[in-house]
Structure 1
Amino acid sequence: MHDFPAGRFAVWATAWLTGRTSYDEALDALLGDTAHRVSGLPGAEEAVPLGWALTTLRTLGERRFRLVLPVAGDVRGLPRAPGLTELALDAGQAAVGERLALVPEPVGTEVVQWTAFDLDGVPPPPPAVEGSLRAASGALDLAVGDAARTLVDLDLARWHPEVPTLLAGLAQPAHVPGMPPGTDPVALSLLSRAQRLARVLDLALTDAPGAAVTTGQAAARDDALRPLSDAVRAAVTAAFNAIPR
């Protein structure tokens, strides 16, 4: 739950489309050391480099992309293009514009395969409910407080010694590399905290080595941590979708 290539695509594509960064800067930020290929792009019969997709966005008249993090039972923000919902649920993420939606799928550690969905003729989804950055931050704080007892009961510090460090880091200044210039400092802080808590959740929702966890105990744990998981998902979405003033 910590790597969001669809979020990076959404934020950098939007920054380029709105003139806040150059094409080369956006492409360098998106590629890094990884190869990216896009299939399903309108007008392309084969998979093409990600840079081709960026160029196509402007040709199609795109203005903004949003990150959508769908989960079972909540696919708000996803257009009903054939095959999109299923693939986005498998990936846990999608970058959605007005004319295209793109879903990333890591292939090993060095390749990301993107699938593009043409939204021409597809009814737009209802507008996603996007709270303010400060509202998302407050909800995240409340969820952390409510989950604290569960985290202690799970004795995560004993099974996963990195948990106290991750939690202590919530108060540290935000450092989120690879975001476009002009990104709201509140968005950076929110994303930094959410990513740390996503790591805590990954540990908390994994049975500790040697621990005898019954099905009932695991279900109770998952139920207790679900509000925190929902708040993390909302915080990540709000941070990536924030538009600088």
Structure 2
Amino acid sequence: MRDLPAGRFAVWSTAWLNGRTSYDEALDALLGDAAHRVAGLPGTEDAVPLGWALTALRSLGEQRFRLVLPVPGDVRGLPSVPGLAALAVEAGQAAVGERLALVPEAAGPEAVLWTAFPVDGARPVAPPVEGSLRRLSGELDLAVSDAARTLAGLDVARWNPEVPALLTGLSQATAPGLPADHDSLALSVLGRAQRLAAVLDLATADAPGAAVNHAQAAARDDALRPLAHAVREATTAAFNWIPRG
């Protein structure tokens, strides 16, 4: 399953900027066991530690970041600045604020390099489309039901025995590592979406011995596309949830 450092950055930097968590707690959650550096930050010539960049956000006037999960043909939520869309689509993720957009790239097994894009002067863009968590939770369940028939028909479990294990107890899945005041429904939606993202990775991988031919693979991908869309929307909304009021 693909890691989403941009999601963690969006949720934890926003919590810190809004005074809902401490700097140390936010930084610990963002760093994990990896070394993070940020290139392209205004006023810097070289890449700086992520903690330095986090401190700079307030002086830049940032108030919140949103996770954007762009795919080819759909880059909604990304400001139109040179180089941003191409890099964000390649990474499959970006954290977008009012003054900066940041895109993470793996720079080795334990290192992440972030590229910062100043977005001052860029035409304002609408945030990524986000429905209510309750609606997206229901759409995720419906997409799972439809996809289950496809997975069974392809006998995915035969070459990917991890799939049944991921689907077992799906309704009880939750996402760890988010701020303490994060909505319980958002945690549930994100936990299910993360498991289903792993299922999609396994289900769309070619089976050993070419058990799925080209035509079958195309039919499989078409059938699973609604689930992939539901996972993408649910993941975005869950990471971007903030308390109201």
Q: Taking structure 1 as the reference length, what is the TM-score of the superposition?
A: 0.97
Aligned to 1:178: 177
Matched, 1:190 2:212: no
Tell me, what secondary structure is at the counterpart of 1:63? Answer: coil
CA distance 1:58–1:190, shift in 2 (3 Å) = same
Aligned to 1:59: 59
1:183-225 residue CA offsets vs partner (Å, 9 max, x unmatched): 0000000010000000100000001111333222211111110
Q: How far did 1:126 drift?
A: 2.5
* Larger deviation, residues 126-135 vs 142-151: 126-135
Aligned to 2:155: 155
1:41-78 residue CA offsets vs partner (Å, 9 max, x unmatched): 00001000001111111001101100000001111000
Aligned to 2:231: 232
Q: Is contact 1:20–1:181 with CA below 8 Å preserved after alignment?
A: no
Alignment of 1:87-236 (within 5 A): 87-174=87-174, 176-236=175-235
Q: How far did 1:127 drift?
A: 3.5
Tell me, what secondary structure is at the counterpart of 1:210? Answer: helix
Supply the RMSD in Å over aligned alpha carbons. 1.1
How far apart, in 2, do the equivalents of 1:193 and 1:244 lie?
21
Q: Is contact 2:66–2:127 with CA below 8 Å preserved after alignment?
A: no
Give 1:104's aligned amino acid.
Answer: P
Q: Is contact 2:172–2:188 with CA below 8 Å preserved after alignment?
A: no
How far apart, in 1, do the equivalents of 2:202 and 2:54 lie?
36
Aligned to 1:36: 36
Query: Number of paired residues?
Result: 244
How far apart, in 2, do the equivalents of 1:102 and 1:62 lie?
13
Alignment of 1:50-89 (within 5 A): 50-89=50-89
Q: Is contact 1:70–1:76 with CA below 8 Å preserved after alignment?
A: yes
* Uncovered stretches (5+) of structure 2, i.e. residues with no partner: none
1:75-134 residue CA offsets vs partner (Å, 9 max, x unmatched): 100001110000000000000000000000011210000000001111111333211111
How far apart, in 2, do the equivalents of 1:74 and 1:173 lie?
28
Give 2:229's aligned amino acid.
Answer: D
Q: How far did 1:173 drift?
A: 4.8
How far apart, in 2, do the equivalents of 1:13 and 1:214 lie?
45
Q: Taking structure 2 as the reference length, what is the TM-score of the superposition?
A: 0.97
Tell me, what secondary structure is at the counterpart of 1:121? Answer: coil
Q: Is contact 2:37–2:50 with CA below 8 Å preserved after alignment?
A: yes
Give 2:44's aligned amino acid.
Answer: A
Q: How far did 1:32 drift?
A: 1.2
